[in-house]
A and B are shown apart, each in its own frame.
Chain A
């Protein structure tokens, strides 16, 4: 089966600019996650979707981050405006349901200058 697809692979922006990341999960996977991975650390959950509904966004900085999953398939994560500390790899993961193993994409590496 095809894996989790993410784009772009790399993005460089200046602080206060906006950026968007796209994720296409594995076909048939109902649960989708966005994780933030800062260099040298483990992934940290930002938001979890079940189909097109939000299950948990308690760790999403909602003043600048937003995410949506239209039609329960693809998802976008947006940052506006970006800060220097947002520099990280943004990983999308999906699972068949909320009790199944997670499959990660290769991530988008964001650099904020």
Chain B
């Protein structure tokens, strides 16, 4: 099955700086890669996603890049703000076959933005 590795496990940045979180995956058949933000006591919330036919996607201060050859993808947050502090999870669609859309998650990155 799919295996997703995520680094770093914790990340501290000064407000206004950029943050980068990296993930690798094992199943070359995977073609959907979402990123989730989880605040304390809440469920994960989708913040951006990318499909394998696209190399990069941007939404305001958040961008995701995908390198299918190397099987890795990254989340970039620019101009970080204190409200960006949370745990971020990457995920990859596991190769379970048609009709079964399942995500395998990384272990998460705790991002702290220092004012």
- A32 lies within 8 A of chain B by Cβ: no
- A56 lies within 8 A of chain B by Cβ: yes
Please give the distance in Å from B99's CB to the nearest CB on chain A. Answer: 6
Given known A-B contacts A41-B107, A42-B89, A42-B107, A107 and B43 have beta carbons under 8 A apart: yes
Contacts of A43 in B (CB 8 A): 44, 89, 105
A-side interface residues, number (CB < 8 Å): 25
CB <8 Å contact, B101 and A106: no
- A46-78 vs B, CB cutoff 8 Å, 1 = contact: the mask equals 001010000110000000000000000000000
Contact-size category for B: 20 to 34
CB <8 Å contact, A40 and B107: yes
- B28 lies within 8 A of chain A by Cβ: no
CB <8 Å contact, B103 and A102: yes
CB <8 Å contact, B43 and A50: no
- B37-72 vs A, CB cutoff 8 Å, 1 = contact: the mask equals 000011111100100000000000000000000000
Nearest 6 CB-CB pairings of A with B: A42-B105, A104-B43, A98-B101, A106-B43, A104-B44, A42-B89
